[in-house]
């Protein structure tokens, strides 16, 4: 069974200024997929908070970590930089597909910095902050997730 961790990256949601809608939307989709949602966390738009949350969820056995928020071009949008600072390998096809498919919905998709990478033994996918955008983008890449997680979780061989 796929074990999933969900991270909402938002200064305001982490301060309780407004209710997080993105994390629960992703959790609902994950459960519909039959995945086990291990944890949902909310962190501010800060590199250290994002990296700590990812590493903690990976250490707890999450094979798939979904983040929502921080993928735009505002000064505080640092999710891609945080992931790149701890990743083993980036998977550019995920971001390419998410942007390409989203362009049919909104021309602003060109501003998105959604991405995916392997951190430790987990696939980490950075999704948009808007709940519907996050759900849509997850659906666009759904077909590759199972295989990517299996590859990320394989132990290296000595040969």
18/15 Cα distance (integer angstroms): 8
How many domains are contained in the chain? 1
The pLDDT tens digits along the chain (159 residues) read 999 999 999 999 999 999 999 999 999 999 999 999 999 999 999 999 999 999 999 999 999 999 999 999 999 999 999 999 999 999 999 999 999 999 999 999 999 999 999 999 999 999 999 999 999 999 999 999 999 999 999 866 555
Q: Which of 125, 99, 127, 106 is nearest to 2 (CA)?
A: 125
Let me know if residue 33 belongs to a domain. Answer: yes
The answer to the question of residue 159 being in a domain is no
- CA-to-CA distance for 104 and 57, rounded, in angstroms? 33
Q: What is the CATH number of the domain that holds 41?
A: 3.40.980.10
DSSP three-state, residue 52: helix
What's the start-to-end Cα distance of the chain, in Å? 29
Look at residue 55 and tell me if it is in a domain: yes
Please report whether residue 158 resides in a domain.
no
37 part of a folded domain: yes
Q: Is 15 part of any domain?
A: yes
d(CA 98, CA 112): 9
Tell me, rounded to whole angstroms, the distance of Cα 52 from its chain centroid: 14
The boundaries of the domain holding residue 91 are 3-153
Q: Exposed (0-12), middle (13-18) or buried (19+): which is 45, by Cβ within 10 Å?
A: buried
Helix (H) or strand (E) holding 10: none
């Amino acid at each position: 069974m796929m074990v999933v961790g969900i991270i909402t990256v938002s200064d305001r949601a982490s301060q309780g200024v407004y209710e997080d809608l993105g994390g629960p939307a992703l959790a609902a989709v994950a459960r519909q997929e039959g995945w086990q949602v291990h944890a949902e966390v909310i962190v501010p738009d800060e590199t250290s908070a994002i990296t700590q949350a990812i590493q903690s969820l990976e250490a707890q056995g999450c094979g798939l970590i979904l983040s929502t928020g921080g993928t735009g071009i505002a000064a505080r949008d640092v999710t891609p930089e945080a992931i790149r600072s701890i990743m083993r390998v980036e998977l550019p096809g995920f971001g390419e597909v998410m942007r390409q498919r989203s362009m049919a919905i909104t021309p602003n998709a060109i501003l998105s910095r959604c991405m995916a990478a392997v951190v430790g033994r987990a696939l980490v996918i950075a999704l948009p902050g808007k709940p519907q955008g996050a759900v849509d983008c997850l659906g666009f890449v759904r077909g590759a997730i199972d295989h990517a997680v299996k590859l990320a979780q394989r132990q290296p061989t000595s040969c």
